[in-house]
Structure 1
Amino acid sequence: MLRGALIDLSGTLHIDNAVTPNAVAALEKLRQHGIKSTHQLHHRLASLGFRVKPEELFTSLSAAKQLVHSQRLNPLLFLTDSAKAEFNADRSLPLSSPTQRPYDAVVVGLSPQDFHYDKLNEAFGLLRQGAPLIAIHKARYFARPDGLALGPGGFVEALEYASGTKAQVVGKPQAEFFRLALHRLGLAGAPHAVAMVGDDVEQDLGDGAASLGLRRYLVKTGKYMPGDESRATVPLAGVHDCFADAVEAIVSCTPAPETKALGK
């Protein structure tokens, strides 16, 4: 019997500012049984009609922030302005300020405006001096209204290749990311009773989720491409046209699942 569900956001619940078919009602169908999750994507989801609380979101950015703060690092950030604000929350001094102390790490997320030679070269110099490389995730691409677009994965690998430094990936598809989400959900000891719903067969539903025994559901929205299901190394629990259809499959397994929303 399923007791919980972990849900990818971009590409699964929404694509940019467009909600996937019946996703708002489908999430509410699960939410009435209790969604837990952290901050940052709340305003966007709320503007799209999803009724979620800031503390109910758990993202790769949350995991990276936790790592950086625990090690008291001052990283050079490849992040959007809103993501930087999230990173600086609950911190007496803002991150990414070399005037306070030199950069001692590099954090790479999805920030297209930062992927230019000068900044990448600055990151390369830090890595050559021994700074750690932290990747929010290594997605190859992501979905936009005009189609698929380059993700941060290629830029992370370029820095790895040039510097000889291996990135520490904190988000999906790493098993540790899913363990943290299960812990917040209160189901760390019951991963086989938890569903994972996503549009990316590698990042959302790949080896990390499979190794923990999560029941994995692929949706044909967002970055899905025909035949993706055949690339799953461990058989999927289901393949559905959209998130709402996956929810029907989940609720048919249990009358009262708990849910958590997961970002990239």
Structure 2
Amino acid sequence: MHKFEGKYAIATGGTDGITKESIICMARDGLSGAIIAGRNEERGIKAAEEIKNLTGCECYYVQTDVSKPEDIVNLFKAAKLKFPTIQILVNGAGVCPSMPIETIDAKEWDRVMNINLRSMHLCILEALKFMKPQKYGKIINVSSVAGRIGGTESSIAYSASKGGMITATKCYAKAYGDYNINVNSICPGAIKTNMIADFTYASAPESLIKKIIPLGRLGKVEDCSGVIEFLASSDSDYITGCSIDVNGGVFMN
């Protein structure tokens, strides 16, 4: 029940959805402290209070626009002031526009890449300042099944950014294994979150869902948060560079 006692985490995109639920899971298992980062201050403060009240975990919200490198630097500066170290990083921030290929210009392409892919890299660079000296760290990147097979509801920019996360995860894992730093990712499918609320398959009839998804339902955030918790724990000490598919069987590797 206390596998995360003495551990501290940072989670981008942690004010909602999969990433928030993963922090709740870890906090229930003894996580000593967490910082959740996101742009929406009202939602972030509320989420941090909820996590603290539910679990007793020392949880703070830091307003962060991950498309801005200076915000990422400030996020980790805040962590250094609040906690003795950081052992866990969950890169969960992301946007998922649903746009035809020919409508995505340079500005939109860069926006998606900066939020989804570049922010992951910059957060990892900051996290390494904690993890390399202590020779320990758990990094979990939230990718997508779209990064495996391409997107239909999501845009090409989203799919490309998530595919980049999968490949980059392997690069980080190879580069920092000697420091006892595990880097893995998860690839969710259609999960009931605010991100997919406007997608057509989110409201598809059950009969259609069963045809598309072998398990016959949309995923829940809890289906992903438990996997993230596993990757953040000592149970996954000999797993690195992997991307775990959480998609109800839509893609089977």
**Taking structure 2 as the reference length, what is the TM-score of the superposition?**
0.40
| Bigger-Rg structure (1/2) | 1
Structure with the higher fraction of residues in helix conformation = 2
**Taking structure 1 as the reference length, what is the TM-score of the superposition?**
0.38
